[in-house]
Structure 1
């Protein structure tokens, strides 16, 4: 990884990723287009490193996940298994550890995560997208489970993220039947939130990420975590958690600004604290 800093712009260059933080908006771009942006050994390691770097920064208020090339991502690197089948189990453990730690760090942040899918996504790429708070998909995009055809089970929290977005029964069908969904089908299942023309998808996703960047970041973080915990939390516990989160949010500078802006009948100018 190499770094470049210029004023409010901080750029991290990896072999398979480009990461830029500018004015509070982090852009995480999968950038191995010639190979289809596979989630191989290098990507897994670098994704974990990039997530750790973003999680350490107090200025990140929104994250935009996208990719370059003909594919959004072909998913896992099958070539890894062709090289040495006997070593595959340990390689899987090593790779998923880095991926899963990276995802966990991103989901623990207050910053909302916006996904931009411009083309076909498969396997782990679909899993990753399922954890985004808002997902934009181009009309030509496609989403394929791509696990059971190899005799594999899901990773990157697919059984959590897909179940959260689609519902458990629909997610199970998608995975068991190794389904492939076009953009409109993905929209109808809840896997994506918006389907837009191919030449507009990045612009629309960026605009949403920029809008979220200007929002009450602490409140966003509480909302993300409360919703994520809700399926396995008793109502009484959830109510108490909501009360505690609301009390904390009410103590922030953004809450003071929000109330002031409301009474003064002007748009709020949040600072993320």
Structure 2
């Protein structure tokens, strides 16, 4: 083995994969927001579970290029965006500068943020949990970083669950000898699949499993919200037909949980 790779872990692979995706991340529907209808859907979801910001401190974990960070900022939260990828943070800082927002950005690991205990009113993340090597450790970390009474809002999905639309896509690819359109190259797709096979939720990630881990970490009032149709419909309208249809039938969800008051 190459000595330079001897200590190269799955976490390093995940960081480097998303660093390479940073340059084109905002080009994909479902990453950046491309319509006012989708933006309103996100704003509705945030206010439904977290209320108005009113200057409360929010930590957006795995913030990427800061899409959710800006939504939180618009809702009145004082936002810190945290990501492990320098490339993502570079894009996030440039976006914040262009939009003249006061969002702060720090580099950090979602499973060990190094942020002070009891320091944030809310934590947000989107499409992060499925990438975690150790979700129980991450949830304990988030519990620690939140103030008593603070809330975490997770937006994710059971992407490993095979839908009938995915089956249709595979059948079409077999009949037509054409691979489904993808925003990733075959090489990047192979790396994506390799990483996915080695994370905690390497197969399916049903909402109930995530909710159970949150409860084990000490969270209470765990609410699973599957009413994201306004967001998904706005996204699907800007996708190729089969990809848009799959977006509508996938098991996607938001989970909000609360750290108990002392």
User: What TM-score range do you get, normalising by the shorter chain?
Assistant: under 0.3
Greater per-residue helix proportion: 1
Q: Report the TM-score, using the length of structure 2 for normalisation.
A: 0.26
Q: Report the TM-score, using the length of structure 1 for normalisation.
A: 0.25
Bigger relative contact order, structure 1 or 2, given CA contacts below 8 A and separation 6+? 2
